[in-house]
């Protein structure tokens, strides 16, 4: 008997690819619909950085456009506080946070533990803690570790998982949820 790419195995692979594509398209459509439904005129976010004590409440998107002054302020509060270095934070990450805020119906600030990290800070953290990725999305401005004071970590994690917009790491013992706008995946730390 010969094994190889028969018609049956080719159609099975084809079905898998189609299902994967449908899932990705549904997640993207859901994400776009959520944003369209919730923020047609303005989108605002609030943060408190737990290491620096800095606070920010800002409208980062207004009448169809991102506001550069607000993005600059967000880049500053999301900076690597150890190196005092900032970089532009990915707009998809901000929109993900806005969607989570909408899904959970919260007005409280996100409590930021870690956002942008320089490669040096990331390497330093890798030496001291398990679970710090060598090519972390934090170094690209595409990740944040955070929590909310009035909602459980479980609620925050579930809202992020439902949106299927990137990576979701759940760290209940350390008191935060990791969110990034990389590939859709999840883990427990």
Question: CA-to-CA distance for 26 and 12, rounded, in angstroms?
Answer: 21
Q: What is the pTM of this model?
A: 0.79
CA–CA distance from 103 to each of 36, 37, 140, 159 (Å)?
13, 11, 26, 7
Q: What is the CATH number of domain 40-188?
A: 3.30.1380.10
pLDDT in tens, 119-171: 999 999 888 887 788 789 999 999 999 999 999 999 999 999 999 999 999 99
């Amino acid at each position: 008997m010969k094994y190889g790419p028969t018609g049956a195995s080719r159609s099975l692979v084809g079905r898998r690819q189609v299902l994967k594509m449908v899932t990705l398209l549904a997640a993207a459509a859901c994400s776009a619909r959520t944003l369209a439904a919730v923020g047609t005129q303005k989108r605002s976010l609030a943060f408190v950085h737990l290491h620096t004590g800095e606070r920010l409440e800002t409208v980062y998107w207004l009448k169809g456009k991102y506001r550069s002054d607000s993005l600059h302020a967000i880049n500053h509060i999301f900076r690597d506080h150890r190196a005092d270095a900032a970089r532009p934070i990915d707009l998809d990450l901000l929109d993900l946070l806005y969607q989570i805020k909408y899904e959970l119906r919260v007005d409280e600030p996100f409590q930021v533990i870690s956002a942008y990290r320089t490669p040096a800070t990331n390497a330093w953290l890798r030496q001291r803690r398990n679970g710090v990725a060598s090519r972390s999305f934090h170094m690209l401005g595409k990740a944040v570790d955070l929590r909310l004071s009035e909602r459980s970590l479980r609620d925050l994690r579930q809202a992020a998982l439902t949106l299927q917009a990137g990576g979701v790491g759940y760290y209940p013992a350390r008191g935060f949820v990791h969110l990034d706008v990389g590939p859709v995946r999840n883990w427990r730390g």
